[in-house]
A and B are shown apart, each in its own frame.
Chain A
């Protein structure tokens, strides 16, 4: 990890950017106490897969200020707003320095170690819609001024969508400026399901923190927990048995199929194809049955543990999985007959909401969305973990970048997931399903990052420890935040009805965005 002073950070990052670090994997705000407030940047090269970590800190706790890197990576836009919200660090040059999750009348910044909770009782007043924002600009003499910025003009026609809207897939809120039916601008409001999971983790022991990961993106419960377990195991230097690796990989892929089936159901329902919704849910139940027999849970499974898994696989697991795959292959054909070939589906999806490859990388929109735009961003291929280096599968990539491409990528990934499972299911080796760990797990001092391919993109965990049994800071690289940050770019110029199709195919899960 390289440490750079705040004065030089922008220049240093710009140099890295021109060296080819075009993917801002994660941007983490930090409160190091005595050493100040700062940011950790995780950068990656999309060409070679190299990674680097840079950090910076400012000692000023009253008015902490850092230069914004929005001009280098668009992904920084939302992430820096998040850091401002959590730590109160102002980013000079960021075009829109509003809070991202909390209400504008929130007092203080909750992730600071000296935050006082009593200042923020429950407020039952309705929020004021904000049409103006502000940004900070540095003058040549070094002083910083606050400038007003207009989001929506007085005479613009604005429509509010959400937070209670069936097609936003949760409590997400958009404010959309329209001209006739055409979207001119879209402003995303997050935070309606901001549960403060990262902050809670700072006062939980490591095994306890695991429980909350399942609730982030509940359609990638296994992946999330896998990432955190991997990160802690990495820090402990713990090797898990081959059997565990097999089980984890199979479970991850089942979870991916589960998530993609739900994606199919919900997208079809949003576009008016209610029958398809029932098809998808019917088949999803079969996966849930398999999960339930082994893990005891349907949605929230709490299965991975540090050093293994909670319980051995059920006796009929192998048989059930095989039966399921044999059932799903022909059923997928039926899906395609029912929906994919449908002329209305094509009318709603073809050429709608195009995301270019450059934008996908710059925003860090990984997962099916990135791959539909031609970016080979699959963590399973880029940085193989568990069994992925030993199995043979295709990374589905399309180049159109439109809604239909995003839809097809996910449908084809179901087939690839089945292929992966088939390669593994017959050879699960014998062995223990849980390594012995100490009763109280303490990590050495240091910081670690590990990532898995979640259902909708790269899910990363950044962990910083000071040698305690609690993490000093635990940050989850949300898969959904980059996805929702592309909405403004993708939706501009589209029709208002397309917003539903775009939102459906981008496939975000809101609790994962808000965390």
Chain B
């Protein structure tokens, strides 16, 4: 059933995830199905941004969701929202995967990756998320070039800060601080509180 929408205020984008995770922890399949619906779009998009390969991205997305199922009882609301918890898991796994893929110096695999660069026009415009999404874009636009490059290379491409430094030809310490002050500026622009 749809939540009523109040004029002048965005409707809640998701069911109360935290509550749902509590139910999932007790083995509730229906609650898990709703968690899936709420998180799978951003999780898959994030994993795919990092990995690029559609098949691998779906595989890792499945792993993330299975981890949510398995470890729901360990989620600690005091540490952050359920969405943040799940997206952190997703980023972590995507980064691990992309780094191990790089380690395997398999030409074939690389060629395959190259051949399957995702079509970004597959990215959706989910109506309820679009306002927030626009805000994120706007706030990213408010970063300095180096902040934005550092943050996006680390987040969307899964690069270690040493790799970011090498790529942008700036000192390691500079990247560390740009990652921090870039995220701090984003936090303030988005009004994130925990």
**Do A and B interact?**
no
Measured CB to CB, the residues of A under 8 A from B are: none
